[in-house]
Amino acid sequence: MKKLTGSLIITLFLSSLAICSPKKNVIVIMADDIAYDNNFGAYGARESWTPRLDQMAKEGITFEHAYSTPKCTPSRVKIMTGRSGIRNYKGFGILPSEEISFVEMLKAAGYKTHCAGKWQLDDKGGTATKDAGFDSWMLWNTELGRESRYWKPSFDLNGKFVTFDKDDFGPDLCVKSILKFIAKNKDEPFLVYYPMLLVHGPFVTTPDSEQRTEKDPQKNFADMIKYMDQCVGRIIDGVKEMGIAEETVILFCSDNGTNRALTYESFGKTVDGKKGVPHDRGTHSPMVVWNPGSIPAGTRCSDIIDFSDVLPTLAEITKAKLPDVTIDGLSFWPQCKGEKGNPRECIFQYYWPKSYSWIPDELGQKELIWVHNQQYKLHKNGLFYDIVNDREEEKPIPLETLTDEQKKIHASFKKAIASMPKTNPAYQESLVKEK
């Protein structure tokens, strides 16, 4: 028998640790209707309403340039499938039943799965909660019912429609549901998907509001942000108290910008919400990732992140097998760990909005396509913007004035647009039906 060398013994020992090391748990939290610059201290707000998320950022990594689509459904389909909407978006309220989501991907990898919050993805041709890959769920806005989400809420609770009492608050019940699931499954790998009810309208008081009779939407919206923050904090506290913080990755983001009926202070200027609008404030999402076992505390990353990147990131974290389809995303898990990774140069965006009333006239079409990086943006119709100095996209850069560096970026953006499908089949079918 050959004698083992010291280096070989160490190698075998490290290999055994890798084999025996537990899989990471994953919690994906997506707020509803709030832009990155809307009172998040981690993003430089003068008045922060999010102390728990700010602390999460100090203990994890803050992505300065993460982007959703401008609206609810396309963002949810994109983040869950890792695919651009030009390939798989079929209409508002639809997660195509043939798509493979990160829920199904992790379930196939041996994960227990739970979802609490807002579903709204089971319209014609969509995915019903019972078919979405969850072991358990507590969801509002499903095929079973679409009644109140806040006070006296109604939920699809594991396939049964349940209405709670008048003093029950939907977001509070969702967090309790999540913590109960985690406590039950903390000794095996689990996925929690938490598409939050907050901070979408109607703008109501919360259990922490000074008075339940307040009607001012701006005041209530502020309270809703603070309660959203508290909900995230309760989940982090629960994970810590259960002793599984180092084994648990928590990702927080938002599905689109702030409601257009509201105003807020952004970098010293009062602005209106841009939900539904394909501008920076309509798509620039907060994104914070937390895992004390792997992520260096207080990290900030300026790489550009697309919602399609979430699925391949979860696959790398959990060692799950990617779905056998075209995936548009790239994993950013290396950046989370402080490594260089494989950062993308730009993002391809596709948007076929539910309503066209708020789309800027100069874009001139219903099917919107654009590419952008951290500073520049090119719409398919040729408009080219400096979105750092022109966030409202009011002054397109004349192409004849481009610098050599801008010409290179413009050319690379045109190439990125040409590399993707020219149109969405479901959109073309809708045009035929309109005729």
Residues 329 and 372 in one domain: no
Give the pLDDT confidence of 25-54 residue by residue, as tens digits: 999 999 999 999 999 999 999 999 999 999
Q: How confident is the model at residue 4 (pLDDT cuts 50, 70, 90)?
A: very low
Mean of pLDDT over the chain: 94
Residues 297 and 355 both lie in one domain:
no
Q: Residue 353: what residue type?
A: P
Task: Please tell me the predicted confidence (pLDDT) of residue 7.
Answer: 45
Indicate whether 2 pLDDT > 70. Answer: no
Percent pLDDT > 90 in the chain is 90
Domain C-terminal end among 291, 321, 343? 343
Q: Are residues 223 and 97 in the same domain?
A: yes
* Whether the predicted pLDDT of 15 surpasses 70: no
Into how many domains does the chain fold? 2
DSSP E strands, 77-185: 112-118, 136-140, 154-157, 160-163
At 248, which helix (H) or strand (E)? strand 248-254
pLDDT number for residue 435: 65
Q: Both 411 and 335 in a single domain?
A: no
Same domain, residue pair 332 and 355: no
Q: What is the pLDDT at residue 430? A: 87
Q: Please tell me whether residues 321 and 379 are part of one structural domain.
A: no
pLDDT at 21: 62
Is residue 301 domain-shared with residue 159, that is, in the same domain?
A: yes
For residue 268, list its beta bridge partners.
Answer: none
In a domain, 406, yes or no: yes
In a domain, residue 3? The reply is: no
Average pLDDT over residues 150-167: 98
Q: Does residue 15 fall inside a structural domain? A: no
Q: What is the pLDDT of residues 214-250, one digit of tens each?
A: 999 999 999 999 999 999 999 999 999 999 999 999 9
In this predicted model, what pLDDT tens digit does every residue of 334-387 receive, in sequence order?
999 999 999 999 999 999 998 888 898 889 889 999 999 999 999 999 999 999
**Cα angle for residues 24, 83, 291 (degrees, 5° grid):** 20
- pLDDT for 355: 87
**pLDDT tens string 73-86:** 999 999 999 999 99
- Which residues fall within 8 angstroms of residue 131, CB to CB, at 6 or more apart? 97
Cα distances (angstroms) measured from residue 134 to each of 16, 100, 101, 125, 192:
32, 13, 11, 19, 9
Residue 164 has pLDDT above 70, yes or no: yes
Instruction: Tell whether 390 and 316 lie within a shared domain.
Output: no
pTM: 0.94
* Residue where a domain terminates, one of 328, 343, 358: 343
Indicate whether 357 belongs to any domain. Answer: yes
Q: Which pLDDT score is estimated for 354?
A: 87
Within a domain: residue 74? yes
Q: Is the pLDDT of residue 285 over 60?
A: yes
Same domain (yes/no): 335, 364: no
**Residue 153: CB atoms within 10 Å:** 23
Q: Per the domain annotation, does 321 fall within a domain?
A: yes
**Domain boundary pick from 325, 343, 361:** 343
Q: What is the mean pLDDT of residues 290-296?
A: 96
Percent over 70 (pLDDT), the chain: 95
pLDDT of residue 54: 98
Per-residue pLDDT averaged across 194-199, rounded?
Answer: 98
4 occurs within a structural domain: no
For residue 107, give its domain range. 22-343
Grade residue 177 by pLDDT with cuts at 50, 70 and 90: very high
The alpha carbons of the chain give a radius of gyration, in whole angstroms, of 22
Same domain as 301, residue 205: yes
Both 61 and 175 in one domain: the answer is: yes
Query: Is 94 a domain residue?
Result: yes
List the CATH number of the domain containing 317.
Answer: 3.40.720.10
How far is residue 8's CA from residue 354's CA, in Å, rounded to a whole number? 61
Mean pLDDT across 120-136: 97
Q: Are residues 312 and 398 in the same domain?
A: no
In this predicted structure, what is the pLDDT of residue 8?
Answer: 40
